Chain A
Amino acid sequence: MPSQPSRSLVIAAGLRTPWARAGGAFAGEDAGHLAARVMRELIARSGLDPAALDEVIVGCVGPSHDQANVARVAALRAGVPANVPSRTVGRNCASGIEAVTTAVTEILAGVGDTYLCTGVEVMSAYPLLQSRGMTKLFSNLMTAKSVGAKLSALATFRPSFLTPRVALLEGLRDPISGLLMGETAEVVARDFGITREQADAYAARSHHRARDARDSGRLAQEILPVLGLGAHPKASALEHDDGIRDEQSPQALAKLRPYFEKPDGIVTVGNACGITDGACALLITTEEKARALGLKPLARLRSWAWAGLDPARMGLGPVYAASRALADAGCSLADMGVVEINEAFAAQVLGCEAAFGSDRFAREQLNLPRALGELDMSRTNPNGGAIALGHPLGATGSRLLLTTALELAHGDHELGLASLCIGGGQGGAVVLERVAA
């Protein structure tokens, strides 16, 4: 039975920074500042008095060590009054959506009615860590009282201690399955017999769609140009997502070596998403409140769902979550005018395509009599996706919602689906509905 929210919940406004390749335009940023920049702008443009917010919720996977509750830092820097609380939420790659589903759940529970929900990730700022041996050595050295004790602490030094641990890499390995995210995509590819050619063709198309969406001004609708902190003295503000390769081709992609499984794997750096920095803010409230604030809502949240699955096949998460969200919305995949599936890996999106259309998968995995339906690839990720734009973990979910919401009006659709796969074996999906003007 469909179960829809008892109140009309809307994305009242949204805005994001351009997605910037890590180590590039936002290399000198920190999550708190980048998120605050886009939040401040969203507040100013919406004319909202931030004192009216019930809470600020920020999704972020890796805030820097001095911003443990990065939501608080970002909120205060964005000019939100100190008496408005703020919290950081996490669901790995879906943290940005998690911020929104947390908010709407609270609205339905009567906790509040106006939330600023942001997703942010500055992957450039992910640190190098000292090895365990080195950490132990430092700790022994600091507690050592006598010269002898200090010397003996120093004597435990081994050259191997100098090898740093890369937080980014360790973060992208699932500790349960022991697989890197790219390796889980290889599992999905093998399951569904997806070829390197298919993956590369998909990746090239993502770049071309993103290029066209940028050139037509479609992407600019959601982007706030930002001059990153510490930007080069001659650099100008970043206006567009900088990962888009206008001339990307399957031929060029074919030259890359498999990154995760050599030599026979199909996932390369060219058909996977990039390491990226970005922030995206959404104002989540009820339709009634949005109109009272003088805002024209971008979209209504019709339903949402989270689902869990085998961590080694996490890339299929969207299918699991979408089956529930669609059921709750009381509609089918074919009803969706636009579908966003986060492009963690081309192989993984193509795996989802296969799984959506597979009766067997539906029976064995989703407990459904037959397949959810064929995924219309012309309506899937119409403006490109993470392979071209990048995937700043905590921010991606927010962008998917914003992009889907804007696409409803842009493509004149009634319904849209935003979904993503989540490291650790989960999926998230939200069904958005166009709001009558």
Chain B
Amino acid sequence: MDIRDFPAPDDAPAPGACVKLERPEAGLVVLRLDPPHRKLPVLDAPMLRDLDDALNALAADSTLRALVITGRDPRSFAAGADVQSIAQVTDAAVVERLVHAVHRMFRTLERLPARTVCAAGGAVPGGAFELALSCDLILLSDDPGTRIGLPETKLGILPGWGGTHRLTRRVGVPTALDLILAGKLVDPKRAKRLGMVDRLTKPEFLERIACDLAMGRLPFKPHARGAKHWLVDRNPLARWVIGRTARKQLQARTNGHYPAPEIALEMILRAPGVSMLRAAELEASAVAPLAVSPVCKALVGIFFASEEAKKTARLPNGEQAAKLERGAVIGAGVMGGAIASLMAEKGVSTRLIDQAPEALDAAERAHRKAIAKKLAKRRTSRAAADHAIDSLDTSRGMRGLARCELVLEAVAERLEVKQAVFGAVAEQVSAEAILATNTSSLSVDAIAANLPHPERVVGLHFFNPVRAMPLVEVVRGAATSPDVLARTCALAVRLGKTPVVTADRPGFIVNRLLGPYLDEALRLAAGGAPVARIDAALLDFGMPMGPFRLLDEVGLDIARHAAASLHAAYGERMQPSDALERLPGADGDSRLGRKTKHGFYRFDDNPRADPELADDLAALVKQQDFAALSEERIAERLVLVMLNEAARLLHEGVVDSAGELDLATVFGMGFAPFRGGLLHHADAVGLERAVEQLRALAEEAAVIARAPGAAERFAPCELLRDMAERDSRFFPD
């Protein structure tokens, strides 16, 4: 089968339109990727078809001495394979044929007798990099916007257009493992250092230098692995050691839920001795089943949902919100300090305000430490680090806010405190300044109630630890203006977070789902299910940690407070169990989880060591109803109780779409990404079955007559019953 036989999109241009061939001088051809139907060029079917035609013609051209492959301009090349089509493909055989066809094309390129130079810039991910790897030399634009790498494993596939093998040959096994398994894109300097590319140049010179290199006017020195090829890559002993470590690390990270990196790992270890013909076989037969697997679909779905979420940063008139220059954070606790630090790092000149000097000092120190760490890891430059440090100022008094464009409060979770803070802030700032609250349990509308211009009040709910958690909930109050909402989302995106917009309902999305989930785990423990088994069950399901580990991370006092406010808001179905009260010492302040080094687990002084379960958890047990519950049943139960609440939340319109809700579950609580999120998982289970199980659990709870609230939370909500009856899905294909 030939590339020409693949289905082309409806807006596909005429054959030959996507690739432009220029002949600036005798013997030299500049091949330009310039598809008329794409603002952001991708290697889609029409592009591959035209590229194939062009390369075949060039292979037959005896006058060709040198070939330069480049993009539309020095800061744009191609965004790799077409992710949309990966999302749609369902037939493994089609994938396999496509991979073979592209391999054939890249082999043609590789075997051209002419010197081939790829001159790329901007984002050069995946397939675009694999195209570059098939050239004799890669020249990369040294521009702050340039990023290069092979992110395929992040989407549940592996670099199948020769990348797994060609990159390994180029940079060696250890570096290839790092790059492909983590799927991270790297900046030009790092790419050069690692040998991913051969030479850097300023974008303005890209094409000229590429032509000079191709025509031999500049020294042509492709990156060579040298002796390391034999000492490391083809040394069985070295490979055995490297493989063992890599497998261990990968297992720790993925828990065996992600086949793509595992397959890629084995393939990379063997890659140095494999011919490209054989490589085509290996990659094709590996990619084909992966690309049609539910894991890949789930990961691609999350990718699209997060891209979609970034669009919330557009103003109502469609324009990009202006870049925020000055902000302030009130409250220098762990959260406030970390948010201020992140803002400063991203170039917002930030004032951090607190009455407690120690808190300010601690926050400033933590900020400098975080920046110093980035500098030590060469993730930032000296000048950028200085700027980041200069961008955080601390103040003990509520002053100097006059020119702030956004003030975020992260003070104590008490309504009157928050109102007082915003009242004082409102006297200083302009009416356009955004007043954002990081509240997790109070109503944004209540906080805004007596303020002048309530349209500028919005919720901006970060998760702990701020730097690590990718989600923020942007809470739209009743009065919040669309403009303020968009500007707040734009800040979230700038801080590297994914914003999900929610209505002003208690617990918003993530905490509202975690409430019954964590409480149900406590009830199971009270009913005799061992804590170790419960945590193992959810870890195995694909959560990043079990519910009890999570409780320890959150802090038992915080969890208790959150549960109480959910109970107050939603009534009986959120009634907290009394299990936590039976945990010895948890009523004081010495056993609150990780922060006190003791909760359900005992934490070591070394933050990297795995904590051990406390030995007095038998005290939790009151009955033995769940002593024999299997891991599968435990996970099923905890997920169902969340699903029921999620359906309610969607039904109430707290969140606009099922996609955003799933995004919040994956990014906010680490809900198994390979399942695509809570509602995707529900679709996979089948809603009819989910409703049946919920009914059964509700009945069982009524029979056992546990603590109040047990039955209510399982009674399937209206939306679920409805959908089950109509046999519909959250994500119709």
* Interface residues of A, Cβ cutoff 8 Å to B: 33, 36-37, 40-41, 44-45, 47, 49, 77-79, 225, 227, 229, 231, 233, 235-237, 239
Interface flags for B371-389 (1: CB within 8 Å of A; 0: not) read 0000000000000001101
State the CA gap A236–B363 with chains docked (Å): 11
Sample of 6 A–B contacts (CB below 8 Å): A40-B393, A44-B395, A44-B401, A77-B387, A225-B357, A229-B368
In the complex, whether B399 has a CB less than 8 A from a CB of chain A is yes
Residue in B closest to A77 when the chains form the complex, CB atoms: B390
A44 touches B400 (CB 8 A): yes
State A235–B389 Cα separation when bound (angstroms).
Answer: 17
Residues of B within 8 A of A231 (CB): 365
Given A227-B365, A229-B368, A229-B389, the answer on whether A41 and B357 have CB atoms closer than 8 Å is no
Across-interface contacts of A239 in B (CB, < 8 A): 357
Pairwise interchain contact B358-A236, C-beta atoms closer than 8 A:
yes
Report Cα–Cα, A45/B349, bound state, in Å.
Answer: 14
Indicate if the CB atoms of B361 and A77 lie closer than 8 Å: no
Interface SS of A by simple majority = loop
User: A45 and B393 in contact (CB under 8 A), knowing A225-B357, A233-B365?
Assistant: no
Assembled-state Cα–Cα distance A266/B390 (Å): 44
B393/A41 in contact, CB under 8 A: yes
CB distance from B132 to the nearest CB of A (A): 37
Closest to B397 in A: A45
Known A49-B403, A236-B357, A237-B357: A225·B396 in contact at CB below 8 Å: yes
- How far, in angstroms, from A184 to B410 measured CA to CA in the complex? 57
Instruction: Report Cα–Cα, A179/B396, bound state, in Å.
Output: 45
**5 A-B pairs with the lowest CB-CB distances in the bound complex, closest first:** A44-B400, A47-B402, A45-B400, A236-B361, A77-B390
Give me 6 other A-B pairs in contact (C-beta within 8 A), A77-B390, A237-B364 excluded.
A40-B393, A41-B395, A79-B349, A227-B365, A236-B357, A236-B361
Taking CB atoms, residues of chain B closer than 8 Å to A237 are 357, 360-361, 364, 394
Judge whether B390 and A36 touch: CB under 8 Å: yes
Residue of B nearest to A73 (CB): B386
Count of chain A to chain B residue pairs whose CB atoms are closer than 8 Å in the complex:
52
Return chain A residues, CB-CB under 8 Å to B349. 40, 79
Residues of the A chain whose Cβ atoms lie less than 8 Å from the Cβ of B399: 44-45
Q: How far is the CB of B66 from chain A (nearest CB, A)?
A: 39
Residues of B within 8 A of A236 (CB): 357-358, 361
Using known A-B contacts A227-B365, A236-B358, A237-B357, determine if residue A41 contacts B403 with beta carbons closer than 8 Å: no
B364 touches A227 (CB 8 A): yes
The answer to whether B497 has its CB under 8 Å from any CB of chain A is: no
B386: chain A residues at CB < 8 Å are 33, 77
- Minimal beta-carbon separation of B427 from chain A (angstroms): 12
Most buried by A among B387, B394, B396: B394
Does B351 lie at the interface of the complex (its beta carbon under 8 Å from any beta carbon of A)?
A: yes
Bound CA span A45–B328, Å: 13
Which residues of chain A are within 8 angstroms of B394 by Cβ–Cβ distance?
A: 227, 237
Contacts of B351 in A (CB 8 A): 44
Segment 348-366 of B: residues with Cβ below 8 Å from A: 349, 351, 357-358, 360-361, 364-365
Complex: how many Å from CA A43 to CA B349?
A: 12
Kindly list chain B residues whose C-beta atoms are within 8 Å of the C-beta of A78. Answer: 390
Q: Which chain B positions have C-beta within 8 A of A79? A: 349
In contact, A44 and B361 (Cβ under 8 angstroms): no
Which residues of B have CB within 8 Å of A233? 365
Which A residues touch B396, using CB under 8 A?
225
Q: When chains A and B are docked, how far (Å) is the Cα of A231 from the Cα of B369?
A: 11
- Smallest Cβ-Cβ distance to B401: which chain A residue: A44
The distance from the CB of B326 to the nearest CB of chain A, in whole angstroms, is: 8
Which residue of the partner chain A has the closest CB to B404? Answer: A44
A430 to B684, CA, bound (A): 81
Interface centre among A44, A77, A78 (most CB of B within 10 A): A44
> What is the bound-complex CA distance between A235 and B402, given in angstroms?
31
> Given A79-B349, A227-B361, A229-B389, A41–B400 Cβ distance below 8 Å?
yes
Greatest chain B CB density within 10 A among A77, A227, A239 is at: A227
In the assembled complex, the Cα of A107 lies from the Cα of B77 at a distance in Å of 54
B389 pairs with A44, CB closer than 8 A: no
Q: What distance in Å separates the Cβ of B118 from its nearest Cβ neighbour in chain A? A: 37
Q: Report A-chain residues with C-beta under 8 Å of the C-beta of B365.
A: 227, 231, 233
Verify A44–B360 contact, CB threshold 8 A.
no
B371 to chain A, nearest CB (A): 11
B-chain residues with CB within 8 Å of residue A41 when the two chains form the complex: 393, 395, 400
* Least Cβ–Cβ distance between A63 and chain B, in angstroms: 16
Given contacts A41-B400, A44-B400, contact A33 B390 (CB under 8 A): yes
Shortest distance between the CB of B296 and any CB in chain A (Å): 46
B615 shortest CB reach to chain A, Å: 34
How far, in angstroms, from A44 to B368 measured CA to CA in the complex? Answer: 21
Measured CB to CB, the nearest residue on chain A to B369 is: A233
Q: How far is the CB of A225 from chain B (nearest CB, A)?
A: 7
In the complex, A434 Cα to B639 Cα: how many Å?
Answer: 72
Cα distance A236–B360 when bound, in Å? 9
B428 to chain A, nearest CB (A): 8
Nearest Cβ on chain B to A283's Cβ, whole angstroms: 14
* Shortest distance between the CB of A237 and any CB in chain B (Å): 5
Interface centre among A33, A79, A229, A235 (most CB of B within 10 A): A79
Chain B residues, CB < 8 A from A40 = 349, 390, 393
Contacts of A229 in B (CB 8 A): 368, 389
- Give the CA-CA distance A418 to B685 in the complex, in Å: 82
How far, in whole Å, are A79 and B403 apart by their CA atoms in the complex? 12
Complex CA distance for A24 and B521, rounded to whole angstroms = 53
A47 near B368: Cβ-Cβ < 8 Å: no
CA distance A25 to B577 in the complex (A): 52
Q: Are the CB atoms of A47 and B403 closer together than 8 Å? A: yes
The distance from the CB of A332 to the nearest CB of chain B, in whole angstroms, is 39
- By beta carbon, the residue of chain B nearest A232 is B365
What is the distance, in angstroms, from A32's C-beta to the closest C-beta of chain B? 9
Residue of B nearest to A47 (CB): B402
In the assembled complex, the Cα of A78 lies from the Cα of B403 at a distance in Å of: 14
Most buried by A among B349, B358, B389, B390: B390
Residues of chain A lying within 8 A (CB to CB) of residue B389: 33, 229
A231 to B402, CA, bound (A): 30
- Which B residues touch A225, using CB under 8 A? 357, 396
List of A residues within 8 angstroms of B390 by Cβ: 33, 36-37, 40, 77-78
* Closest B residue by C-beta to A37: B393
Return B227 CB to nearest CB of chain A, in Å: 30
Instruction: Find chain B residues with CB under 8 A from A235 CB.
Output: 361
**Which A residues lie within 8 Å of B368 (CB)?**
229
Quick one: closest B residue to A294, CB to CB? Answer: B402
Tell me the complex Cα distance, A64–B401, Å. Answer: 32
Which chain A residues lie closer than 8 Å to B402 at the CB level? 44, 47
| Residues of chain B from 73 to 120 with CB closer than 8 A to chain A in the complex | none
CB contacts (< 8 Å) of B395 on chain A: these are 41, 44
Q: Min CB distance, B309 to chain A, in Å?
A: 31
- Rounded to whole angstroms, the CA-CA distance of A45 and B400 in the bound complex is 4
In the assembled complex, the Cα of A37 lies from the Cα of B393 at a distance in Å of 8
Q: CA of A44 to CA of B396 in the docked complex: distance in angstroms? A: 13
Determine how close the nearest CB of chain A comes to the CB of B398; give it in whole angstroms.
11
Whole-angstrom distance between the alpha carbons of A77 and B344 in the complex?
A: 13
Q: A33–B399 Cα gap in the complex (Å)?
A: 22
**Chain A: minimal CB distance from B57 (Å):** 51
- Tell me the complex Cα distance, A40–B404, Å: 13
Can you name the residue of chain A whose Cβ is closest to the Cβ of B325?
A79
Cα separation A231 to B362 with both chains bound (whole Å): 12
Contacts of B364 in A (CB 8 A): 227, 237
Q: Is the CB of A44 within 8 A of B357?
A: no
- Nearest-CB distance from B327 to chain A (Å)? 12
Report the separation of the CA atoms of residues A195 and B10 in the bound assembly, to the nearest whole angstrom. Answer: 100
Which B residues between 118 and 151 are near A, CB-CB below 8 angstroms?
A: none
Min CB distance A12 to B, Å, is 15
Cα-based distance from A231 to B372 in the complex (angstroms) = 13
Contacts of A44 in B (CB 8 A): 351, 393, 395, 399-403
A237 closest partner in B (C-beta): B361
Measured between alpha carbons, how far is A152 from B587 in the docked complex, in Å? 79
For the complex formed, measure the closest distance between the CB of B135 and the CB atoms of chain A, giving whole angstroms: 41
